[in-house]
Amino acid sequence: MKSLVDHLEASLESANRPLLCNSVIPTLVHCINLIAEELRSSHQVAAAGSSNAFGDEQLNVDVLAEKIIRDKIRNCSSIVTASSEEDPVENPAREASDHEADTGDERYTIAFDPLDGSSIIAPNWTVGTIIGIWDGVSALHGVPSEKQVAAILGVYGPRTTAIIAVRVPGAAPTCFEIGLGQEHEQLTTCEIVHPRINLLGPPFKTRYFAPANMRAAAEDEKYLQLVTHYIQNKYTLRYSGGLVPDIVHTLVKGHGIYISPVTDASKAKLRRLYELTPIALIMECVGAKAIDPVTGEDILARPIENCDERAGLVCGTAEEVSLVKQSLKLGLHG
């Protein structure tokens, strides 16, 4: 995984984060490749007969992905705390007896959704893994824009890729895409596909929209009018029902708007810690925006107080997010 480490070290040369570059991110990328390999041979997708702590039914592939990440991070001494959507409690990443040498100032917490896209994995659509990396021994109570230092989206489709964003003091924010290859002697081969991801500026050749929870348009006239605006102005629909592929489409194409609204009948489902804050960090690193569809505030502006906090999401090209904010009159009411 030399090309990945080299790219990270060059990008963060002035930030003094050797373990983030050499250990934390490579370990998590290795997990993504292992999950991809297991998914390729997991032809039977079925209920595991268990539920996570939120009461959501688990699939066998959810359990598999969770186990892979938990097992591998035990060997990464700088990841000291972890929680996930399947096990949403911050706990030490390894037993006390397994702790290695003191990692000094570089101690990290990870919060992850091991396999996002349960509703579309059975028909073999693209799904993904979402990981947030936070400074210190907890992701809770601090301001996410200050405490979350990196995010990774693993993408399991015809190819296995990952989007990696890093924003740490002392270095310019960066976001790039890698392609993952076969395992060789317990190492993942990878290629830097796009060394720098930035969204495009106007004029746009094609405008894309992903309207999640379309049923809410029957309950919210403003949302219905917004969707109608996209159709009348010949936006191209790109919506799969999977958060990871829909977000990655925006990143790869350089334009897009993703909307997951919240209404009285359509409650917030996305979890701030495991889905929203990692995606928001990636969006901000590419010059995009990510806001709450009720308050209009930046996703990363408000501390997370517990692991089950939920919200909707509006994210994408800055101009498009501003249009949504104006159309839905966000921030104009309590």
Any domain includes 292: yes
Please say which residue of 194, 225, 241 terminates a domain. Answer: 194
CATH number of the domain within which 130 lies: 3.30.540.10
Give yes or no: residues 28 and 157 share one domain. yes
pTM of the model: 0.93
- 60 confidence band (pLDDT: 50, 70, 90): confident
Give yes or no: residues 252 and 111 share one domain. no
278-295: pLDDT as tens digits: 999 999 999 999 999 999
Any domain includes 310: yes
Residue 56 confidence (pLDDT) above 70: no
CATH number of the domain within which 219 lies: 3.40.190.80
- 50 confidence band (pLDDT: 50, 70, 90): low
Give yes or no: residues 49 and 117 share one domain. yes
What range does the domain containing 24 cover?
2-194
Give yes or no: residues 178 and 62 share one domain. yes
Give yes or no: residues 134 and 41 share one domain. yes
Any domain includes 252: yes
Give yes or no: residues 190 and 219 share one domain. no
Give yes or no: residues 36 and 105 share one domain. yes
Q: Where are the alpha helices (DSSP H) in 74-183?
A: 118-121, 144-147
DSSP 204: P
From residue 135, alpha-carbon distances to 43, 85, 138, 160, 302 in Å are: 38, 19, 8, 27, 16
Give yes or no: residues 230 and 102 share one domain. no
Any domain includes 44: yes
Any domain includes 203: no
**Contact criterion met (CB below 8 Å) for 125 and 216:** no
Give yes or no: residues 148 and 178 share one domain. yes
Domain count, the chain: 2
Give yes or no: residues 253 and 129 share one domain. no
Tell me what the mean pLDDT of segment 133-154 comes to.
97
Residue (of 275, 276, 258, 277) closest to 317 by Cα position: 258
Any domain includes 201: no
Tell me what the mean pLDDT of segment 200-225 comes to.
92
Any domain includes 334: no
236-278: pLDDT as tens digits: 999 999 999 999 999 999 999 999 999 888 888 999 999 999 9
Give yes or no: residues 29 and 158 share one domain. yes
Any domain includes 200: no
190-199: pLDDT as tens digits: 899 999 999 9
Give yes or no: residues 84 and 41 share one domain. yes
165-187: pLDDT as tens digits: 999 999 999 999 999 987 655 56
Please say which residue of 172, 194, 216 terminates a domain. Answer: 194
